[in-house]
Structures are given as C-alpha cells and as structure tokens.
Amino acid sequence: MIRSLVKLFAVDEQESPAQREHRLKLAAAALLVETARADFEEDAEEEAALEKALRQALDLPDTEVRSLLAEAGTRADHATSLYEFTRVINDHFSPERKRELVALMWQVAWADGSLHHYEEHLIRKVAELIYVPHEDFIRAKLETRPD
C-alpha cells in the first residue's frame, strides 16, 4: 500500500525535458484557468486575457495555447485541490517566475474590469502556497489594476 502511495506522488524519473516543460506549462495554465473561473462567470474579456497571458508568458502559438487551455481546463475540473498545481510550480519555478505567475493571475482577474472577492482569495491562496511574499502579491495587484 505504501508503495502505491509513493508511486502516486512520485514524479516519473524517466520524464523527458519536453514532458517536464509541458507539465510546468499545464500547471501554470490550470492556475490561470482557475482564476478565470473563480467568479463563476464565463467572460470573453477574461478568456482573451487568459489566452494573451499564456501566449506572452510561454511564447506559444495560438493553436498550442488553445490546446493547452483545453487540457488545463480538464485538469482543473478533475483536481481535488490546488496542491497538484502549486507543487509543480514550487518544485520548478524560480521566485521571479512565481511572481510573474501571480501577476498573470491578477491580469486575468482584472480583465473584466472588476475584481470579485473569490478571485482575490484564490490568488492570495496560490501566492501563499507558492511562497510569494505578501508585498509582491500586493505590488502585482496594484501594477495590473486597470486605470
């Protein structure tokens, strides 16, 4: 039984660099998808901001962005917690990339012109789980806030 638990949480050591990179992109995309969904409203502005954020941050063409978003949405639908995504981020992202991810989450949240308290709560929770200092969390919020 313990072996099966270890196997469940273990990262495949035979994972190629391309597979690892895809897993990182998928984790970041899933957190952005969760941000867009946090206010329980499907919004064209947030969807566009989500695609733009992924395109810019990951330097992907439109077809790959849409494919990644579809897969991230499915993963987010079946996730039991944020841990499976934040663990990947913690294991592989530098502090700077973590701050960039939080800023992207803010951009998606602000895209519809308003900030729902569920969106803010989710971003705060993710920032804490990936060890982004509170001052960086606030700075990203203020820098991405629409005028």
pLDDT in tens, 73-98: 999 999 999 999 999 999 999 999 99
Whether 132 contacts 81, CB under 8 Å: no
* 128: its two tokens: 């804490």
Alpha helices in the chain (DSSP H): 2-9, 17-37, 44-58, 62-78, 83-92, 95-110, 117-129, 134-144
* 100: its two tokens: 């960039």
Q: For residues 49 and 108, give the distance between their C-alpha atoms in angstroms, rounded to a whole number.
A: 5
pLDDT in tens, 3-38: 654 555 555 567 788 899 999 999 999 999 999 999
For the chain, which domains are there? 19-144 (1.10.3680.10)
Whether residue 2 is predicted with pLDDT greater than 70 in this model: the reply is no
Q: What is the pTM of this model?
A: 0.87
